[in-house]
Structures are given as C-alpha cells and as structure tokens.
Structure 1
Amino acid sequence: MAEVVVIGAGLGGTLMAYELLPQLRKDDRLTVVSQGAVYHFVPSNPWVAIGWRKQSDIEIDLVDIMKRKGIRLLTQGAQRVHPSESRIELGDGTSINYDYLVIATGPELAFDEIPGLGPQGFTQSVCHVDHAIHAKEAFDKLAANPGPVVIGAVQGASCFGPAYEFLFILETELRRRKLRDRVPMTFVTSEPYIGHLGLDGVGDTKGLLESEMREKHVKWITNARVKGVEQGKMSVEELNEDGSVHKIRELPFAYSMMLPAFRGVGAVRGIDKLANPRGFVIVDKNQRNPAFPNVFAVGVCVAIAPVGATPVPVGVPKTGFMIESMVTATALNIGALLRGRPALAEPTWNAICLADFGDSGVAFVAQPQIPPRNVNWSSKGEWVHYAKVAFEKYFLRKIRRGTSEPFYERFVLDQLNMAKVKGTKEEVKTGT
C-alpha cells in the first residue's frame, strides 16, 4: 500500500486528485491536504469584482465529492513539508507521511513587498474570491463617486491576463452605466510592452491589446516599477531599457486593482534543493524534484525561468492548459512508479488561453509556451467572451462530477476552431 498525498485543492490540486485515482492500485490511498474544503473558480473573480457573479456561483464544497470518490480530505492545511523525512506537518500540529507527494499549492501573494499594496492597503485584487468581494465593495464606491482608475501588475508579477481582463471588464461595465466619460483609466505594468504577458507576446497580442486600449481610451505605462501606494495615489518609476529611471510618476486614483508578485508558500519556501530562492518548487522535465524523487509539483508553485531579461522583473504565467498537462504527466508518472516502471511522461507546456473583455476578448495559442514556437497565434472577437462563459460552466460541472479525463485543450481548441460558441448566448449576469 502506498500513501499518495496532494497539497492544494485549487485548479491544479483538484484536477491532480481526480487524475491520480485511476493510476492508483487497489490498496493505495490518496489524500488531499487543503486550506478549507471549498473550491472556487479563480478565472471568474474579475466578474465577481464588478457584480457579474456572486461568490456562491463559483464555489463548490469538496467534502461530499471527495468522500464519494474515496479521497481523504484534510482541511487543516500544510504547515511545513519535510522532504527528507517524507512527512508533512499540518496546520493543527499533527503530521502525515507519504510515499509520493504532489505539491499543488499555488502561490503566496507578495503584497507586503510594496508599501500600501493590496486589500489590506489601498489597492484591490482579483487573485482570491475574498479579494474580489472586497473589490466589488470598492467598485460600488467608484460608481457612486467616479474618478481616475489605475489597473495593472507590479514588478515580479507572472500572471498578466487577469489584469487585462479586469481592465476591459471594468471599462465595459462603466460604459453600460454611462459612467465611462467620468473615469480616466491607466494601465500600469512591469511588462516591457503591452501584450508581453510574461511570454514575449503570442501572435500579435501586442498589436491587439494596444489597439483595444487606444479604442477604449486607456493610457498605459510599461517597464513600470511601483514604489509605493498611499490613499488615492500610486508612485511609479518608468524605466529605460538599461534599467535606469526614465520618469517618476505620481498617479492619482479613486480605484486601483494591481496584481502582486507571487512567491512560494511558507510550507516549502526556504527548503534547500526543493525550492528556489523565491520559494517555487524545482522540477525536471517529468515534474519531479531532482533532489527528492518522490516529490512532484504542478501549477503556479512550479519554478520556471523567465523567457528573457527585461528592465523590470517579469515572471512566466502558468495557464490552465499548461497546468492540466503537468497534472496528466504527473499522474502517469506516479502510476508508473507504483508499478515499478520509470517515470517518463512529460507535459506539453503549451499555452491556450481565453481572455474575456466583458463584451469581446482575446484568445491565443502558444505551442510551446516558451518561444521559439511551432504555433504562435492570437485573435479577438465577441466569440471569446461567450467561450469564456461556456468554459466556466463546463469546468465547474467537471469539478462537481469529479471527472478525471483531461478536457481543457479539447474544449478551448473546439472554440478556436469554431471561432464562436454555438448555442451559448446566455449573457454574463450583468443585470442589464
């Protein structure tokens, strides 16, 4: 009998548990360790933040689902991993041992690295549903008393898509409320150019996103380093290509949503040979840690080198399909090891993404994610918005049913091939 443990019950961890089950032998046991028992669909957070979704619309209680599937769910969270002992110290002081471990914790949000950043400071976030609820309260105040808006992603951020999504979703809602003319909007990003996305662009994302911003009267600042945030004011350094300071800006705002940098969670951060200096888990081409071969990692917690040097630090995103490919490879590898075979499966690490802009959107395909690529394509249109709505419903249904087969690539590529979503004309819940 083998003890297989997954830490995390977000997108990566939940899918990891579902795909591991068919790979286990009859007497093996699977345990998921999470902070609480509720899964929430992170890509819907921008909709929650302006009231197009309620928190209950995007949350699923995992207790009954995991029990039905025969998975042990421990909700006290992981305090510390001890890889040399194959042991996990849990949040309540108890410990569990493992034969194989999959780390799927996602990141820790590094708001504290910039004074005044985050929901405990003066800016909003859509990284967690609780943050999105707080952002909705702040948005209601903006709607009652319109003023300048600053949206973007700070230095070290590695997830830029939600910043662009929220920018345009917010812009769409302001237009629908006839308030857009009273709200100047500025996009502030650490990217070297608009549409870089931590990937050095995909297809013509630079042109598509710049065009969208010009059309929507959104100003932008790239190579931006946020120095600090005060009530109603953000201090930003705009850097030259050589890293020197080109201009210092003081940006007033009535509302701001800025994505933070990520780092590894406390349970793994600082563990020599398991995590890098930033706390992300080191893995080889099979998602396996080289120093501790019974430890695997998937998702945002995985260490990936940047695509190239930039004046301001920019991380590499881990998109949904990329994570799913990591999950599938890891499940196959653990299944092989349990049967005495070598772990040879490798993830594809392709990027396939739908970015909703409220009434349109941008889709892109990068195969592989890191250039040079075999496929390097992007497009925009109203169909992307409907595809994102359909995907949310599709994904939440998968989580509720506990479906194990990979589906992200098939679903998204179907939409790309059709360039529309047939039979899916139910609008996002806007109240209009």
Structure 2
Amino acid sequence: MAKIVVLGAGLGGMSAAYEIRAAVGREHEVTVVGEGGKFSFTPSNPWVAVGWRKAADIQIDVAGHLAKKQIGFDGAGAQRVDPVRNRLVLKDGRELAYDHLVICTGPRLAFDEVPGLGPDAHSHSICTTEHAATAWAAYEDFLKNPGPIVIGAAPGVSCFGPAYEFAMILDADLRKRKLRDRVPMTYITPEPYIGHMGLGGVGDSKGLLESELRQRHIKWIANAKITGVTADTVSATEFDERGNVVKEHAVAHRFAMIMPPFTGVDAVRGVEGLVNPRGFVLIDQHQRHPAFPNVWSAGVCVAIPPVEVTTVPTGAPKTGFMIESMVTAIAHNLAAVLAGREPDEVPTWNAICLADMGDTGAAFVAIPQIPPRNVTWAKVGKWVHVAKVAFEKYFLAKMKSGNTEPIYEKYILKALGIERLK
C-alpha cells in the first residue's frame, strides 16, 4: 500500500484528491493536508468583496466530504517539505511520511514586495475568501463616503482576470446603488497593454477590454510598475515599450484593491532542488519533479515561465482548465507508476477564462496557452455572467460529492462549441 499525501485543499488539491482516489483504487492511502478545515471557491471572491456573496456561501467543510471517499484530512498545515526524507513537517511539529507527495498549495501572496501593499497595510486583496470578506467590510464603510477607487496589479502578477473582474463588478455595483457618478475609477497594470493578461493577448482581448473599460468610464495606466501604496495614494511608474519612463503617477484613492505578486509558499521556498528561485515547484511534462520522482505538483504553485518578456514583469496565469488538466495527468500518471508503468499522460495546459463583469462577462479561450495557437476565442455577453454563476454552483456540488468529471473538458468547452485539442 502506498501512502499518497496531497498538500493543499484548494481547487487543485481537492480535485487531485478525488481524481487520485478514483485512479489508484482503495488499496492505497490518500490524505489531504490543508490549513484549516474549509474549502473556498476562490473564483467567487470578487462577489464576496462587494457583498453579493457571504463567505459561508462559497465554502464547505472538507473533512466529512473527503471521508465519504475514504480520503483522510489533516488541517494542521505544512511547515516544511523534506523531499530527501520523504517527510512533510506539519505546523504543530508532527511529521507525516509519504510514498508520493502531490503539491497543490497555491501561492504565497507577496505583499512585502511593494511598500504599503496588502490588507495589513493600505490596499485590499481578493486572493483569499478571508481577504475578500475584509474588503467587503471596508467597502461598506467606503459606500458611506464614496471617492476615487484604484484597482490594479503589482509587478510580477500572473493572475489578471480577478483584477479586471473586480473593477467591472465594482462599476456594476456602484451603478445599482446610484453612486457611480461619485467614484472616479483607475485601473493600473504591469501588462504592456490592456487585455494582455499574461498571455500575450487572446484574439482581440485588447480591443474588447479597452472598450469595456471605456464604456464604464474606467481610466487605465498600462505598462506601469506600482511602487508604493499609502492610505490615500497609489504611486506608479509608467514606461514606454522601450522601457523608458513616460510618467510618474500618484493616483488618489479611498479604496484600493491591488493583486499582489505570487511566490511559492513558505513550506517549499528555499528547499534545495525542489523549487526555482521564486519558490515555484519544478516539474517535467508529466507534472512530476525531475529530481524527486515521487513528488508531483499542479496549479499556481508550479514553475511555468512567462509567455513573453514584458517591460514590467508579468507572469503566466494558471487557469482553472489548465489546473484541471494538470490534476488529471497526475492521477493517471501516479496510477501508472504504482502499477509499475512509466507515466505517459501530458496535460493540455490550455487557457480558458470566464470573467464576470457584474451584469455581463467575457470568455477567453487560448489553445494552446502560448502562441501561435490552434484556437483563439474571445466573446462578451450576459451569458458569461450566467455561466459563471452556474459554474460556481456546479463546482461546489462537485466538491461535496467527490465528482471527478472534468468540468471544463466536458461542459465548458462543449458550451463554447470547441472540441478538445491536445
């Protein structure tokens, strides 16, 4: 019997646990190690931050649902991964031995890389449900005395979708409250142009998102490095395409949400041979570590190079569809290894994004993620908002039931009229 430990109880970790259990059978032990006992559907965090959802609406207690599939759970959290000794050191001092480790931790939020950034300083975050709930409390106070809002992304950010979503969701919410005329809004991004999204653009995403921002009276500053945040100002340096400084900006705000850069989590950062300099886990084409063959990894915590070099650093996003394909590959390959075969499943790493805009939405498909592509697809419509609401309900039900269906592969691509492409 092999002891399989899945580190992380988020989108990747929970999906990995269910798919691995289905793939390897009941004769092997599967345990999930999380931090706390709740799973959060993080794509709904922007809705929490404007009060359209409560945290409890998008969270489930994981232990009981995992137990139905004979999957163990430990909520102590990880202090350190020790791949040489095949041990996971937990935050309470215990050590958990493993035969195979699947790292799906998500990222560390590197607020420390920009002075004044983060919920403990002068900006808000929607990267965790707890942060989104804190942002909602601040937004409630803001509504009593509205003023300028800044939404943006710090240098090195690899996940731009939530920032675009939140800017437009705020716009929709303020219009509903008849307060939009009192709230100047500015979007600040390291992307070389609006709609780049760390993907080099997807179809006419530049024109599409510029049009949406323009229609909503949201000003933007692109190719910009946010250098600091105070209680009332976001400072940013804007560059031209050659890297020359165009302008130093000091944008006033009464409420700011700025996506932070990501690094690897503390449990893996600095572990020799396991991660790259930013702390992201190294993997081969089978999602397997090249030096530690019993370590696997999926999701935001894996090391993927940027799609292209940009003047202000941007990272490559890891979307839900990409994570789904990574998890499926790990389950297949881990089952093969346990049966004495070589791994042969390679994830697709395609990019699909459903971005809610409050009363409408935008869908982007990039197959493969890095251009040139076989499929480049971008559309805007109210149906995207409806689709994302439905997706939230379906995914939470999936986590409760242990359903291992590939949601993107089976439903979303089909709904978009796109066949699977390897």
TM range (shorter): over 0.9
Residue 132 of structure 2 is matched in structure 1 by 132
Residue 28 of structure 1 is matched in structure 2 by 28
Correspondence list, 1:13-412, <5 A: 13-412=13-412
TM-superposition CA deviations, 1:222-251 (whole Å, max 9, x none): 111111111111111111222232211111
TM-superposition CA deviations, 1:175-213 (whole Å, max 9, x none): 011111110110000100000000001111111000001
| Whole-Å separation in 2 of the counterparts to 1:26 and 1:52 | 40
Counterpart amino acid of residue 182 in structure 1: R
Post-superposition offset of 1:271:
1.5
TM-superposition CA deviations, 1:33-70 (whole Å, max 9, x none): 11011001000000000010011100000111111111
In structure 2, stretches of 5+ residues that fail to align are none
For the residue of structure 1 that corresponds to 2:68, the secondary structure is helix
For the residue of structure 2 that corresponds to 1:151, the secondary structure is strand
TM-superposition CA deviations, 1:283-338 (whole Å, max 9, x none): 01100110111111000000100011111000011000100000000000000000
Q: Does the 8 A contact of 1:198 with 1:317 survive in 2?
A: yes
Residue 416 of structure 1 is matched in structure 2 by 416
Aligned length: 418
Q: Does the 8 A contact of 1:239 with 1:246 survive in 2?
A: yes
Post-superposition offset of 1:26:
4.0
| Whole-Å separation in 2 of the counterparts to 1:25 and 1:233 | 55
| Whole-Å separation in 2 of the counterparts to 1:344 and 1:99 | 20
Coordinate RMSD, CA, aligned: 1.0
Post-superposition offset of 1:410:
2.1
Q: Which runs of 4+ in 1 moved over 4 A?
A: none
| Whole-Å separation in 1 of the counterparts to 2:13 and 2:80 | 17
Post-superposition offset of 1:409:
2.5
TM-superposition CA deviations, 1:365-418 (whole Å, max 9, x none): 111111111001101011111001111011111011111222222221233239
| Whole-Å separation in 2 of the counterparts to 1:98 and 1:385 | 42
Counterpart amino acid of residue 224 in structure 2: A
Post-superposition offset of 1:279:
0.2
Q: Does the 8 A contact of 2:362 with 2:379 survive in 1?
A: yes
In structure 1, stretches of 5+ residues that fail to align are 419-432
TM-superposition CA deviations, 1:409-430 (whole Å, max 9, x none): 2221233239xxxxxxxxxxxx
Counterpart amino acid of residue 234 in structure 1: V
| Whole-Å separation in 2 of the counterparts to 1:216 and 1:47 | 18
For the residue of structure 1 that corresponds to 2:81, the secondary structure is strand
| TM-score calculated relative to the size of structure 2 | 0.98
| Whole-Å separation in 1 of the counterparts to 2:26 and 2:134 | 45
TM-superposition CA deviations, 1:159-182 (whole Å, max 9, x none): 000000000000000001111111
Q: Does the 8 A contact of 2:63 with 2:72 survive in 1?
A: no
| Whole-Å separation in 1 of the counterparts to 2:310 and 2:35 | 35
Counterpart amino acid of residue 178 in structure 2: K
- Give me the identity figure in percent: 57
Q: Does the 8 A contact of 1:387 with 1:415 survive in 2?
A: no
Residue 5 of structure 1 is matched in structure 2 by 5
Counterpart amino acid of residue 278 in structure 1: R
Q: Does the 8 A contact of 2:31 with 2:74 survive in 1?
A: yes
Counterpart amino acid of residue 247 in structure 1: K
For the residue of structure 2 that corresponds to 1:88, the secondary structure is strand
TM-superposition CA deviations, 1:340-389 (whole Å, max 9, x none): 00011100001111100001111011111111110011010111110011
| Whole-Å separation in 1 of the counterparts to 2:174 and 2:417 | 32
Q: Does the 8 A contact of 1:10 with 1:40 survive in 2?
A: yes
For the residue of structure 2 that corresponds to 1:299, the secondary structure is coil
For the residue of structure 2 that corresponds to 1:13, the secondary structure is helix
| Whole-Å separation in 2 of the counterparts to 1:272 and 1:189 | 33
| Whole-Å separation in 1 of the counterparts to 2:84 and 2:343 | 20
Counterpart amino acid of residue 135 in structure 1: A
| TM-score calculated relative to the size of structure 1 | 0.95
TM-superposition CA deviations, 1:8-46 (whole Å, max 9, x none): 000000000000002224431011111011001000000
